Chain A
C-alpha cells in the first residue's frame, strides 16, 4: 500500500531541538556519512540516515517503532562528520524525548525505562546511584543479563567500587525547586 507525505512529525521533532547547534535535519542530502560512521549501525533496524529520511517523510509510526535512536551511543562521530552540519546525535535525543513524552516505544527496549530510572534518581537525590539503577529495569528483562550484572556488581563491591548508601546533595530542596522551574515534576517524579 502506498504512503503519502505529511510534514507535521518533522516539524514536531524540529521543535524539540531548540538549543541544539548545527543545521536542521531537513537539509540532509542522504549521503550516509552518519550511518557509515555509526559504530552501532549494524544493530539498528534503520540506519540514522534512513531515520532522517523517514522523519522528513512523516513516517511517524515506523520511526517510533524503530530501535535506532535508543541504540545511539552518543559518540557524536556522525555529528562532527556530517557534510551538512546536522547534529544527528541531537536528533536522536529529540526522538528519544518525543518517544518518552508520547510514551510510545517498542516493547522490550531497555533504553526508555533506564533513562527514566536514571533521571528519577538524579532529580530525587541530585546524584546517580548505580546499584538501584541495575535492578530497577533489569527485573523487567532477561534473568541472564541480570546475573551477568550481579557478577560484575559483586566483584566491584569486593573491590570497594560500589557505593552502599545512595549519595545526596546538601541543598536538595533548592535543587528540586530549581528543577520545577524547568519542568513540572509530574514528568519524572
Chain B
C-alpha cells in the first residue's frame, strides 16, 4: 500500500475542511495512505516572503525536516504550500550555505533537513503517481456528461520552468476524463485567480475571478474543479462580490477535484464535505 507524508496546511483545518475530508476518503478508497505530519507549522504562504526570505524558507524547512523523518514522499493539497515546499527543498539542495543556516535554526527543534525528499502536489499524486488508468479501473459512478473546467492555477505549476508542461499541462484533463467527466478546453486554466490579492487589492482580484468564471462559463462549464483551497475560496466565496461588482450572475459551483473523484468512486456526498460550499453544487449533482 503506497504511503505519503501528508502536509494539510492551515486552510484545510477549517476553511477547506471538505478538501481535507474528501482527500482522506478518496485516497483510502484508492488504497493510498496519507500520514499527517506531526506538529506541522504554517508554510508562510507567499506573504512571508514580504517579511523575510530566509525565515520564509525556514518555516517550510521545518515541515520538510519533519516529513523527511518519515522517509516518505511528502504531498501537499494546497498549491501555495506545495510551491513553498518544492522550492525550499530545491534551494536548500542547490545552496549549501542556505541549508547550513536554516539547519542551524532547525536544531532548536531537534530537526535537520538533508534535502532528499520528493515533494508532490495532491493533484500530481492522483493524476501522475496513481494515474488515470488505475483510477478509471476503480470508479463505479462515472460523472458522465458533467462538463468540468479543470483549474490548475499558478503555484502548482510555476515557477518551475519546464515550459511545454507549465504553459499547457494536460494531466488534470486526463484525470477528469478518467472519472467519466468531460473536461472543457478554456485558455485561462493556468491563469491566476488573484487569491493573494483579495485582501490587499480587491478590485484587481475580483476582476481576475470574473475573467476566469467568464471564460469557464463561455466554454460551457457546469463545475470548476480546483486543486487549491485559496483558488477554491476565491472563485467560490467571491462570486457574490463579483456579481455585485460587475452586475454579472455567476453561480458556478467550485469543487475540489478530490470531491469529484470521490463521487465517481461512489463515496457518499456528505463524506466528501459536499454541502459546505457557498455556491451550491446540488443542482449539478442532483442526478447523482
Contacts and interface: CB of A to CB of B under 8 A. Distances in A.
Given A73-B192, A119-B47, A182-B54, A159 B276 contact: yes
Interface residues of B, number: 72
A165 B41 CA distance: 16
Nearest to B195: A73
B196 A19 contact: no
B191 interface: yes
B105 to A, nearest CB: 4
A118 B102 CA distance: 21
Nearest to B245: A148
Interface stretch (A1-9, A27-35, A171-179): A171-179
Contacts of B14: 130, 160-163
A150 interface: no
Interface string A13-25: 0001111110000
A122 B10 CA distance: 10
B74 to A, nearest CB: 17
Interface in A150-189: 151-152, 155-156, 159-163, 167, 169-171, 174-175, 177-183, 187-188
B194 A111 contact: no
Contacts of A116: 51
Contacts, number: 204
A21 B201 CA distance: 27
Given A19-B91, A74-B154, A89 B53 contact: no
A100 to B, nearest CB: 6
Q: Is the interface of A mostly helix, strand, loop or mixed?
A: helix
B32 interface: no
Nearest to B197: A73
A169 B154 contact: no
B284 interface: no
Contacts of A20: 53
Interface in A109-124: 109-112, 114-116, 118-119, 122
A127 B48 contact: no
Interface residues of A, number: 71
A143 to B, nearest CB: 14
A110 B202 CA distance: 10
B224 interface: no
A50 interface: no
Contacts of B94: 21
B109 interface: yes
Contacts of A112: 50
A76 B55 contact: no
Interface string B163-206: 10011000000000000000000000001101111011111110
A128 B91 CA distance: 24
21 contacts: A18-B54, A39-B194, A40-B204, A71-B197, A71-B200, A73-B208, A79-B158, A93-B46, A100-B50, A112-B50, A118-B47, A152-B241, A156-B278, A160-B276, A163-B13, A163-B14, A171-B109, A174-B108, A182-B52, A182-B58, A183-B52
Interface of A: 16-21, 39-40, 42-43, 67, 70-71, 73-77, 79-80, 87, 89-90, 93-94, 96-97, 100, 109-112, 114-116, 118-119, 122, 126-128, 130, 133-134, 137, 145, 148, 151-152, 155-156, 159-163, 167, 169-171, 174-175, 177-183, 187-188
Given A80-B167, A171-B109, A182-B54, 5 more contacts: A40-B204, A127-B13, A169-B41, A181-B104, A181-B107
